[in-house]
Structure 1
């Protein structure tokens, strides 16, 4: 009896494994076909030779790249920059040099329409700052293809209060545990194995970027100012990027209910999606805030030395909800 049961179980298990293999094969086949079709479409009107200085393809190569940090206001910053008449770009995150490199340069430059002669293309890929040793060698290689040099580009790095950024990333992943439980490990220290915590140690990643590009090619942005004074922030950024001053208070309107600034384009008000932005942050304990601020202190000090700006971050920052 037991042998019969065992035999039936073996047959059922074998059939299940074969079925699983077939499903995986079929799925892999169609994914490959979709990828091949996408790559062929993206390269159908794109030569593989070097592009001359007058080519439309070369003009679509980004001259301004937002490197990071994610959850620091990169989307709002991109929207603000795209209101400038001298900037062209897509409302997307291509992530070419880290996630989509296999798609090829043609796919990359076809993400945006050909800009006007007075415009430069903006790219927003906030994951780049986390893997500069992968991103920059690939970027430099692609520049050669377009007869461009690294100093033809400007980069933007946006930061915000490290605890608030960490909480924002925590919310993005649909948390199942309280932030305090994930942010602090069993020894009572900052949990560096938890990505939202680690990624707010800004100077660790920025120093790696500086191995490839000098600091005078990077515009450092205080993302907290997007909620307090976006006009002043954008005017400073325009100057850093070498753009004519164009963005003014006419481009923003404050939404009191959501406590953020919305954008005014062509006399129409556009606010960030309520499903993604302006989500109330959970309160954290004072113990958690103290531990994290102590952890971030050396990173913040290095950041201030690199940027020449003290952002005034401390645990009493008004946007951090603390419960005793």
Structure 2
């Protein structure tokens, strides 16, 4: 190959202006003459600083790609278990998720016991903007917890983002005298959910649970009564009068407790949820709560399906179907209809007082 040929070939190869790399004609790389316009790239970087910069960019790209894939997989697994995304545990995760933290609740389900508080919490957790605490925290109603302070309480809450609402439920809050003032001291603008059911039905459900717990306890203690005694024997004295001191009946006198809350919080911060309708038509009550909490309506009919075996609605999200545990929906014992009528007449006056205090008529039967 003549010198002129090599010179012409090198001149025909154009070096990219912004890259310090070497282009050579293919003919220069072999002994057999080839196409003089056919050039090859010799891999290499002659400037160390540029090489280091390229290497750093490549490593950062790989790290970010891995981080995104990992986080996506983690969120998919958590969605399958109906959890909301938690802050990842990767290095530098706080820089990527600076606002994910445990927050004090902005809403609390304050009761009432055996009116569907657990079902309500699970239904609300279907909403992507709601984070629920696991279990009953019992912060405001138990002194040993309350005196541990708000930092202890906060650590019982799930991680959430600023646009989400953290919510917990402890049914005994409703009947504990100190609780309203304690909650107001934490957050005077908090939203409160009170779920109630027809009082006699609630009392029978309460009796059913107490009897179930007593039957499985190491020693049968049923308050001051034997677990073998029927609801009728406990709810009525031997002379047929109402046993007003019987705890399941006393809790059903809602006006005895709601007045404390109304003295502490404005009425507009308390939503009364109809527990009987939550069983029959859950969506109607959930939509009221979404509006009350200022949330965009996200829960719809596709989130519920009726389980014929259990006899109540179960929940459905994008990945799974689930029902409440077996202890929910226990079969109530048969109670003499005459006893039920007598108890409903007893509650009629108490119900009217409750209606007047909350400004809503629940329409509970009086016979």
TM-score normalised over the length of structure 2: 0.66
Question: 2-side partners of 1:200 and 1:263: how far apart?
Answer: 28
Question: 2-side partners of 1:68 and 1:110: how far apart?
Answer: 22
2:181 maps to 137
2:210 maps to 173
Structure 2 counterpart of 1:102, from 136, 142, 147 = 147
Which runs of structure 2 are paired with 1:9-24 in the superposition (5 Å)? none
1:84 aligns with 2:127: yes
**Structure 1 residue 56: Cα displacement:** 6.6
Q: Deviations over 1:272-322 (max 9, x none)?
A: 111x11111112113311221122111211222233332222266xxxxxx
2:45 maps to none
Q: Do 1:219 and 1:241's aligned partners in 2 also have CA atoms closer than 8 Å?
A: no
Question: 1-side partners of 2:288 and 2:271: how far apart?
Answer: 9
Question: 1-side partners of 2:150 and 2:365: how far apart?
Answer: 43
Q: Which has the larger radius of gyration?
A: 2
Question: 2-side partners of 1:166 and 1:192: how far apart?
Answer: 12
Q: Deviations over 1:197-224 (max 9, x none)?
A: 1000111111121111111100100001
CA pair 111-289 structure 1, distance change in 2 beyond 3 A: same
**Structure 1 residue 267: Cα displacement:** 2.9
1:127 aligns with 2:178: no
Report the more deviating stretch, 209-218 or 101-110. 101-110
2:295 maps to 243
Structure 1 counterpart of 2:242, from 190, 194, 205 = 190
Instruction: Detail structure 1 runs of 4+ shifted over 4 Å in the superposition.
Output: 54-57
Report the count of equivalent residues.
Answer: 253
CA pair 55-86 structure 1, distance change in 2 beyond 3 A: closer
1:116 aligns with 2:154: no
Question: 2-side partners of 1:90 and 1:137: how far apart?
Answer: 21
5+ residue gaps, structure 1: 1-53, 144-148, 317-324
1:25 maps to none
TM-score normalised over the length of structure 1: 0.74
1:284 aligns with 2:330: no
1:200 aligns with 2:256: no
Q: Deviations over 1:214-266 (max 9, x none)?
A: 11100100001122110111111111222111110111110112110111123
**Structure 1 residue 184: Cα displacement:** 0.8
Q: Do 2:140 and 2:182's aligned partners in 1 also have CA atoms closer than 8 Å?
A: yes
Q: Do 2:345 and 2:366's aligned partners in 1 also have CA atoms closer than 8 Å?
A: no
CA pair 227-139 structure 1, distance change in 2 beyond 3 A: closer
Q: Do 1:93 and 1:123's aligned partners in 2 also have CA atoms closer than 8 Å?
A: yes
Counterpart secondary structure, 1:284: coil
Report the more deviating stretch, 173-182 or 119-128. 173-182
1:298 aligns with 2:349: yes
5+ residue gaps, structure 2: 1-97, 212-226
**Structure 1 residue 164: Cα displacement:** 0.9
Counterpart secondary structure, 1:103: coil
2:198 maps to 161
CA pair 61-269 structure 1, distance change in 2 beyond 3 A: same
2:112 maps to 69
1:221 aligns with 2:273: yes
**Structure 1 residue 109: Cα displacement:** 0.8
